[in-house]
Structure 1
Amino acid sequence: MSIAAAYRDIRRFLIAVLAVAGLGLAAQAAIAAAPDTGAPAAATQTEAAAADTATGADQAAGEGDAAADSEGGYEHLGPEWIKGQPTAFEDNALKSMSFQDQYTDDGQFALGMNNYILAPVIVFISAFVFFLLLVVVVRYRRREGREPSRTTHNTLIEVIWTLVPVLILVVIAVPSITLLARQYKTAPADAITIKATGYQWYWGYTYPDQGGFEVISNMLPKEEALSRGEPAQLAVDNRMVVPVGVPLRIQTFGADVIHSFSVPSLWFKVDAVPGRLNERVLTIQEPGIYYGQCSELCGARHGYMPIAIEAVPMDKWRQWVLSKGGTFEEGVEGGERADIQAPASATEGAPAAGGAPTAADDGGEAPSVPLDASDAADTAA
């Protein structure tokens, strides 16, 4: 068989492969865009809840900008400020397969490294190897009776297949080491310190530089989250409010077991370990609401301790601190200094840190009531 015929067969095979791949992508897009017929009642209920949410949010926010805090008149950001969420396939198929939008310098560096270095290298190597396999399959088919070369040494080829992988690894290693160094950069002396404590199963945020008050953050029930226009299982009753554009010294600690403080859209993840204080610097570029979750398997209610960070301008953050009774070193007093909130759940009947596990509810909502001794015995049995 001539070389021209071999390449003609390769082209035909590639066209067939691309056609099959195109049909697969089209079918996937159609499936993703099709309505969920398996649970029409649930879908209808969700749409109705979302509609009620939009109306309720507008009424509560007045201008649709914020919801008023009952303490001190501070206005929280409304749901229109939510940023960094995953992209649905029907909205953008290519973006849905990548990372979330990033709102920190480290996150944008890492996202650029993935999009412009790692992904092209992976695609190029995969395509090149696939092409070589096609050439071998087509040119040396059994029915053609061709015998491949029995050459065992080729200096040029051996030099190429040694140097090229080395160069590829160098191209990947330089930005990778740079990213590692950026992530472990020490926080400046004037950074604002916030301590995130993981409890079973909720978060507590302490502000030692502003008087040491602690804010306890629990997941909202699904109905309440939807009524506020926020995502279920991510919305919380009290967010971690921080100033935007300034370095934050985030310290993590586990009160009982190992937790993990993770916010994907901020490229931030630090374990919270009992008996050990971990620390990383975080600088958020834009105002907004950013969601994360505990990323360590910490117990039965592991999936119900979300993280919600509200980044606002400095003047609004100072207003929030004063509304909580915090103070500033410059002498700005916040009325009466707030007592440090006890590390117990804001949800009525939920256990304190280290307390008995809670009974799982069917709706996948916030922690319910603690198991009594008989329930605990039945569960153990």
Structure 2
Amino acid sequence: MAHPTQLGFQDAASPIMEELLHFHDHALMIVFLISTFVLYIIIAMVTTKLTNSYILDSQEIEIIWTVLPAIILILIALPSLRILYLMDEINNPHLTVKAVGHQWYWSYEYTDYKDLAFDSYMIPTQDLAPGQFRLLEADHRMVVPVESPVRMLITADDVLHSWAVPSLGIKMDAVPGRLNQAALVASRPGVFYGQCSEICGANHSFMPIVVEAVPLQHFESWSSLMLEDS
């Protein structure tokens, strides 16, 4: 969960988010080095009259500023493509959950269970219990087992939505008439918050996402209780 005056991302709660954080640091360091080098060149040109004929007409300099950007792009593109393919890999999922966006709430269907489905609405501010987060709490949380691959099927019933949970490194558009697929693996127990990340109408900011990751035995107890109540 983010906190006031926080700098940087939320703590990673999935292997994919850990990879994204590493890639962010990798790309940021490259940007820092490029910015430092360009700043040095500008200062040198202003203070030491670096713009001599050698710099302006050197064949070696032209080769360097052609080859070096290509190398930098490769250093950014290769890890980026690796993470992109990792995000699409879903091998032997233990559970499948279908998330459907509505104006303005989410509904969840556990397709491996016959009757396990429910709607998830935001809890109004006046009904919040002490310690709950305004605009982020939902009356029914999506519960998943820890360290278990989950296949998320994401769609919408009316307009475009986007199912996004930053701590888990997942953001997938919910498109009416189309099923999008994403992988979700929670690496530690906890409650992780997200929101619709597509401007979907007047109450766009009032359809939060709450994912609760629990040990497998707790998930089995929760699913049995939900099936009894349905």
Residue 217 of structure 1 aligns with an amino acid whose one-letter code is S
- What do residues 244-266 of structure 1 show as CA deviations (whole Å, max 9, x unaligned)? 11010111110111111000111
- 1:198 pairs, out of 101, 108, 113, with 101
Highest RCO, 1 vs 2 (Cα 8 Å, sep ≥ 6): 2
Aligned to 1:176: 80
- 2:20 pairs, out of 107, 110, 113, with 110
Distance 2:11 2:208 in 1: 19
Residue 157 of structure 1 aligns to a residue whose secondary structure is helix
Aligned to 2:151: 249
Aligned to 2:127: 224
- Answer with 1 or 2: which has the greater Rg: 1
Distance 2:33 2:223 in 1: 52
Distance 1:153 1:100 in 2: 48
Aligned to 2:68: 164
Aligned pairs (5 A) from 1:1-381: 85-89=1-5, 96-115=6-25, 117-140=26-49, 148-151=51-54, 152-185=56-89, 187-225=90-128, 227-325=129-227, 336=228, 338=230
Unaligned runs of 5+ in 1: 1-84, 90-95, 141-146, 326-335, 339-381
1:223 Cα deviation after fit: 3.4
> Alignment length, in residue pairs?
229
Distance 1:211 1:337 in 2: 13
Q: Is the 8 A contact 2:92 2:149 kept in 1?
A: no
Higher share in strand = 2
Q: TM-score normalised to the size of structure 2? A: 0.94
1:97 Cα deviation after fit: 3.3
Distance 1:319 1:208 in 2: 17
Distance 2:124 2:3 in 1: 24
Residue 7 of structure 2 aligns with an amino acid whose one-letter code is M
Unaligned runs of 5+ in 2: none
Residue 57 of structure 2 aligns to a residue whose secondary structure is coil
Q: Aligned in 2, Cα 1:176/1:302: closer, same or farther, shift over 3 Å?
A: same
Distance 1:114 1:188 in 2: 26
Distance 2:24 2:120 in 1: 33
- What do residues 317-357 of structure 1 show as CA deviations (whole Å, max 9, x unaligned)? 010011111xxxxxxxxxx572xxxxxxxxxxxxxxxxxxx
Q: Is the 8 A contact 1:257 1:298 kept in 2?
A: yes
Q: Is the 8 A contact 1:203 1:218 kept in 2?
A: yes
Residue 210 of structure 1 aligns with an amino acid whose one-letter code is Y
Distance 2:116 2:187 in 1: 25
Residue 249 of structure 1 aligns to a residue whose secondary structure is strand
Q: Is the 8 A contact 2:45 2:51 kept in 1?
A: no
Q: Aligned in 2, Cα 1:292/1:129: closer, same or farther, shift over 3 Å?
A: same
Distance 1:129 1:87 in 2: 35
> What is the aligned-residue identity percentage?
38
Q: Is the 8 A contact 2:151 2:183 kept in 1?
A: yes
1:213 Cα deviation after fit: 2.2
